Structure 1
């Protein structure tokens, strides 16, 4: 028998690893755990505290495409913060595209407030404040 140990990582592609590390580590507070060359590019592991992003950068790539509601796929990445208003101000000052300003969450059992931004490759990132008791 085996047991689940926890969430490990999501693999994603970036067109510019330095820019991606600056966004996730420099702005959002992730920790760079590993960065190393690969056969056709470079990879990095960025720790979010409850799982990681494995970012592969092969060179020039097309920007991310939003997944329509009628298609299977990953729609966004979500990260929890104590105050998303402060984080949105920081991201806006850094020139990050803000899709949606902080608002009251629809799933109030899970979250107080939510907001949406885009990372440097166009991937949608949701910022949340957890509901009390979570």
Structure 2
């Protein structure tokens, strides 16, 4: 449940930027397609910055932090780096686009094809494991 709520918080942040720009740019009297395009590009940029850059630095997003979650690599439980997060962000972007434009949803297919999808775990579980391994300094 906490993963879903964290995702919802993060998604609301990203979509909030989209709608904020739509509303903020209305007085500029731009063409509808231009207005929508600017807001969509901003949404994608914020998504990348938040889900890749912020997570590579702090290991978590705002939504995950609120629900005490951090990202780990599924193969070894280690900290995900920029390249790992950027790769998965790109896969997610392609899956989302094709889900909206294709005849059938592709997100489930991506999850089956790439089972190493990054996962979020409780921060206290990471700290507990580090203590057990004597890595807590």
The interval holding the TM-score normalised by the smaller chain is under 0.3
Larger relative helix fraction: 2
TM-score, length-scaled by structure 1: 0.23
TM-score, length-scaled by structure 2: 0.23
